[in-house]
Amino acid sequence: MTAGTSAARRIRIGIDTGGTFTDVVALDEDSGELVTTKTPSTPSNPADGFLAGVRKVLDLMGATGDDISAVSHGTTVATNKLLEGKVEALGFITTEGYEFILEIARQAVPDGYGNSYFWVKPPRIVPADYVKTVGGRMDFEGNEIRPFDEEGAVAVARWFKDRGITTIGVCLLHSYADDSHELAMRDVLRREHPDAVVSISSEVLREYREYERSMTTLVDAAVKPNVSRYVANIHQRLDDFVSSSEKLPFYIMKSNGGVLSADEVVHQPITTVLSGPAAGALGAGLIAGRAGFDKVLTCDGGGTSTDVSVVLAGEPTLTTEGSVGAYPSKIPMIDVVTVGAGGGSIAWISPEGSLKVGPQSAGADPGPLCYGKGGTEPTITDAHVTLGRIPPHLLGGEIPLDVDAARAGIEALADRLGLDFERCATGILEISAWNQANALRQVSVKRGLDVRDFMLATFGGSGSLLACRLVDILGLAGVVVPQNPGNVSAFGLLTVDVKNDYVQTAVSRHSSLDHAAVQKTFDDLTAKAAAALDAEGFPTEQHRYSRTVDLRYFGQAYEVRVAAPEGEVDEAYAADVASRFHDEHRALYGYDFRSDPTQQVEWVNLRVTGVGPITRPELRDLASAETAGAGVRERAHRSVRPVCFDADSGYVDTDVWWRPDLLAGDTVHGPAIVEEFGSTVPVHPGFVVRVDTLGNLVITKEA
């Protein structure tokens, strides 16, 4: 270091881009200081809002781009592309004789048997005339039945090139067992059609079930161009912030609860489809766990939607049976259910004359009526502001709200419904609360969990607005609202390890399990995970690995995943895994066949997850109210305003509290409104708020 210069600080930044706001949290790794802020999202070019957030948080910290040590990002680019159904021309190459795999698909009855239709197929992601086949065949054990038809492969590659189709998914039969034919097909495409973006199933999902593997591969291919452009654009613009010639470490949140470097994530973009919701669940789980709650439902409310999940002992539950929009994606992802009930969700009248809310949203632009940006339909936010449940501004006054415009819109809706204003506005919020409650039931009651044992962790800009009603509807134990709840997803990005998942199908009955073969598969998957962690820069002594196995009773169609310990695979090891399966099956379905020798256990998929640990930010204790020189009312009370919590009761004078001035041990009784920079918490009559040692608001019903 030369005279006159100072050492750069080490600031790690987490940025979550939502439909309405971009949330930013920065951690000074030397001092432990956490700084949070928000900035409006820019849907036309999300990178603009991203960079605006970086600039804003650096200014707040008195720092520059040279002080950034790493950036982690939760993105909705892949999710939005699939939800909006905006998939460009996409080609599909499969094994000769299997061109109808997308038509066969799976059958489902999404809305019960009472409808006019029964069996519902998901929409095609590839037009029928863009499906091509290639000769050659492997069996389920990886033995070649027919050789790969290279001449036919060349003809297929040229067919796609001649028609300008540059995004292609390849899924050949049983390539999970042997991928040599898929690799040969990719080589042909690289030679004959070098402009094509190609995804092959053996790299996306090395797992059996041809339809799910095909769809997952095609979804990966569909989002790859957009994700690649977006990530490359942001990475380049981030590098412009720093004077160093080295690229700034830039990580993207994955659906499985880990992050991956931007350079690697472009090769597996499907892993980002639940990027933002995954970060929120992790952040809320960490905070709630530190607060002493090991059974938590999370409720992440944004401007467009609300995401809910389950966290047990600090860890969100995972699934491989998820989907994004209409498209199944059989990759490890946090078990999140999304409902169109965000702050911008639109209230409308159905053809039958009923009041409905969502899933369509006013988004960030034009946004709700109260934004004054050209919105024409009333939204959930408009109902909140007109009832006094939120202040007439957002972000501590940075964004003023037009209450009169919101009221006029809801009054017009009320007139059409034949209701008075308050019943219409509270009706909008009641419908939204039940929509959220139904989503919470999907991840809890339908999974065999008793919600009465769970706390609800609410976060996001709108996540806490209906918290008290959700306690009443579901009978929850209470609510925990973290500090800076609008930025919990961004905070979660700073708590996330680098994580990669590897899977290999190896179907075998337990009674004839080849222990040496299982050990070899585990070793091979671990070697792949180790190579990925080496590439991410983690020294070998920091590598961590976890094993899981998918098992089922012979004859069942789907599996149950259980944890498998480290250690040599032998008879005792296999018996321990099978015993865990019996336990998990009983927990999920209420029965098992442990004592029935006629019901055999079948091993299906072996999995290894490689983890590169990062240093998590420390949650600091909040100052105690006992040491304050003034009482809670003198410190934190700001005003009194009329608020309508119930149409029958009308407006009640309600204390407004400023959350940054509340201290650990403070207690506030409802009715109350607790405000802070990025969010508001309406506390209904009959509820009490206690501030815990970490600064969380713990809301429970009065005894």
pLDDT, tens digit, for every residue of 238-288? 887 777 767 788 899 888 888 888 888 888 888 888 887 888 898 999 999
Q: What is the DSSP string of 63-123?
A: --GGGEEEEEEE--HHHHHHHTT-----EEEEETT-TTHHHH---B-TT-TTSS---BPPP
Of 137, 238, 215, 216, give the one whose Cα is nearest residue 181.
137
Would you give the distance in Å from CA 256 to the centre of its chain? 9
Every domain of the chain and the residues it spans: 84-226, 498-612, 625-701
Report the range of poorest mean pLDDT among 196-205, 337-346, 348-357. 337-346
User: Does the bond joining 46 to the residue before it have cis omega, within 30 degrees of 0?
Assistant: no
Dist CA 353 CA 68 (whole Å)? 54
Dist CA 306 CA 294 (whole Å)? 22
Using only C-alpha atoms, what is the Rg of the chain?
Answer: 27
Of 416, 422, 302, 421, give the one whose Cα is nearest residue 362.
302
pLDDT band at 119 (very low <50, low <70, confident <90, very high): low
Instruction: Indicate the average pLDDT of the chain.
Output: 89
Ranges of H-type helices in 599-675: 632-636
Q: Quick one: which H or E segment has residue 310?
A: strand 306-312
Q: What is the pLDDT of residues 649-702, one digit of tens each?
A: 999 999 999 999 999 999 999 999 999 988 899 999 999 999 999 999 999 999
* Residue 83 pLDDT exceeds 70: no
* Residue 615 pLDDT exceeds 80: no
- What phi, psi does 594 have (nearest 5°)? -55, -40
Which amino acid does the sequence have at 389? R
Number of neighbours of residue 459 by Cβ within 10 angstroms: 32
* DSSP three-state, residue 596: coil
What top-level class would CATH report for the domain 498-612?
alpha beta
40's tokens: 């409006």
> Which position has the token pair 């920065």?
26
What is the structure's pLDDT at 325?
A: 65
Q: What is the pLDDT of residues 142-179, one digit of tens each?
A: 999 999 999 999 999 999 999 999 999 999 999 999 99
The pTM (predicted TM-score) of the whole model is 0.81
What is the structure's pLDDT at 113?
A: 45
Which amino acid does the sequence have at 680? T
What is the structure's pLDDT at 537?
A: 83
